Structure 1
Amino acid sequence: MALLSPHPNIVSVVGAFDSSSSDGSLAVVMELCGPQTLYDRIARAGRAMQEPDVASLMKQLLLAVAHCHRLGVAHRDIKPENVFFDQRGATLKLADFRSAVWLGGGPASDVVGTPYYVAPEILTGREYGEKVDVWSCGVILYIMLSGGIPPFYGESAEEIFSAVVRANLRFPPKLFRSASASAKDLIRKMVCRDASRRISAE
């Protein structure tokens, strides 16, 4: 029996089946998406994406994230590789909830995420909430408007983590010459080191 999708911008679960293997694993069948991820779309652009297109994509992504947060769930690994599209390539679908956590019992404190997209409070060992996802979305927004360049860079995971913790956000004119002031302001509000001042997905 198929399960209803919880949100049009979240990959739906069609069913779950006992795989009958000795390790007790479960096979989860997801809806079929198109072959392209948001990462593919960014790479294919090869330059800064047009702001109206970016706005449409970010609206869909943040609708999915806000839905998760209303249910008390933090995804904790939002990155372009975990964002798919439907088979027509029009509707964005957030996927891969392996690192997700339900925050109903209180804040989380374990270290999870992908180097370029992880929020600084995760790396510093503090308790954190759902706004770690807003940080990740802000990093994606930066990357789409900069032509594929992340806001915090390093040659190794350790260097990236160090740059993320410092959170010295800059907008090089060469990369952001076509970005509006309001787009940069939104990034500042999302990629804000102080989670208490970071805006919500809503």
Structure 2
Amino acid sequence: MCESFKNEYQLCEEIGRGQFGIVYRCFSPSSRSSFAVKSIDKRLLLDDDIDRQCLDKEPKILQILSPHPNILQIHDIFDSDNHLLIVTDLCKETTLYDRIISSAPFSERDACSLFTQIIDALAHCHRNYICHRDVKPENILFDSRNRVKLCDFGSAELFGGVEGRELMNGIVGTPYYVAPEVLAGREYNEKIDVWSAGVILYIMLGGVPPFYGETVEETFGAVLRANLRFPTKIFRSISAEAKDLLRKMLCKDVSRRYSAEQVLRHPWVTNGGMTNEMI
């Protein structure tokens, strides 16, 4: 550990482990607060330029996006010859994926409460010309106050700015959640994040993914066809407003697909998941 880190924080127990680093809880005596610190061994990345680029990019992107209540915040960075230490918000071990496995399907109000925070985070990203590119339940954490924290910006991309918006390319993402234009190998824009968030909402409400198959190849084929359905057995009690929003998010035609800002203005979101019958 860097000496400068030791001057600011006390290292506590290990809480996670990845390919290139270990995550610990740490404690700041000055603020009397606990944080998470990811310790990355840079020696493991010396022969992989792509990994080094991701390592350099993620902290920069999180600094651009901070502070936002629903995006994991960086509090400190310590860089030495062999290690990079990134101090972030301390979150619970359970992810949205864990909550879906244990509790889905959610009520519309509960789903909307979580979903609105996810979309608010994505809208903030897109306003800052950042596309996450790997939105999935595993990348959605919760802090001690149960607020959503969007994390893992290792695949994120800057897509424009004062020069004007530029299309992105490259196949990134995760099978159930990736947008069809990504799989098709076409250039794409930030609306791929909206598609992924739409898949998450569908799963929260229905308990199953909208596009799936027995194999990865079959799942990709279902995503490319993008034939959105609402099986009566599963969606009988789901409101017309929620289904309308899902159709606008899981729209194969990107020009007609909602932006994150449009999603935030949709009646189902503004009413907090309360349907017309409930209001």
> Above 0.5 in TM-score?
yes
Does 1:29 find its partner at 2:87? yes
TM-score normalised over the length of structure 1: 0.92
1:159-174 matched pairs, under 5 angstroms = 159-174=218-233
1:122 aligns with 2:185: no
Per the alignment, in what secondary structure is the counterpart of residue 111 of structure 1?
coil
Cα deviations by residue, 1:17-57 (Å, 9 ceiling, x for unpaired): 22422xxx633222101122111111111x42100011111
* 2:98 paired residue among 29, 35, 40: 40
TM-superposition CA deviations, 1:111-157 (whole Å, max 9, x none): 1000000000101111101000000000000000002x100111222
Going by fraction, where is strand more abundant, 1 or 2? 2
Distance 1:130 1:30 in 2: 25
Aligned to 1:8: 69
Quick one: distance in 1 between partners of 2:228 and 2:75? 41
Bigger drift between 137-146 and 152-161 goes to 152-161
Q: What residue in structure 2 maps to residue 190 of structure 1?
A: 249
CA shift at 1:178, angstroms? 1.8
Query: What amino acid is the match of 2:71?
Result: I
Q: Which residue number in structure 2 is paired with residue 17 of structure 1?
A: 78
Q: Secondary structure at the match of 1:28?
A: strand
SS where residue 260 of structure 2 aligns? coil
1:54 aligns with 111
Q: Compute the RMSD of aligned alpha carbons.
A: 1.7
1:11 corresponds to which letter in structure 2? L
Hey, what does 2:268 align to over in structure 1? none
> Where in structure 2 are the equivalents of 1:90-169 lying within 5 Å?
91-104=147-160, 106-147=166-207, 149-169=208-228
Bigger relative contact order, structure 1 or 2 (CA pairs below 8 A, ≥6 apart): 1
User: How far is 1:9 from its partner?
Assistant: 0.5
The one-letter code sitting in structure 2 at the alignment partner of 1:30 is: T
- Which consecutive residues of structure 1, in runs of 5 or more, have no partner in the other structure? none
Sequence identity, in percent? 60
**1:97 partner letter:** F
Q: Which amino acid aligns with 1:195?
A: V
Cross-structure match for 2:14: none
Alpha-carbon separation, structure 2, partners of 1:96 and 1:19: 22
Given that 1:34 and 1:88 are in contact with CA atoms closer than 8 Å, whether structure 2 keeps it comes out as no
- The answer to whether residue 127 in structure 2 is matched with residue 70 in structure 1 is yes
CA contact (8 A) 1:109 1:125 kept: yes
The whole-number CA distance in structure 1 between the counterparts of 2:185 and 2:259 is 21
Distance across 2 between alignment mates of 1:172 and 1:189: 18
**Number of equivalences:** 196
1:76-95 correspondence runs (5 A): 76-89=133-146, 91-95=147-151
Please, which moves more after superposition, 47-56 or 135-144? Answer: 47-56
Of 154-163 and 57-66, the range deviating more from structure 2: 154-163
In 2, distance between residues paired with 1:36 and 1:123?
Answer: 29
Shift of 1:5: 3.3
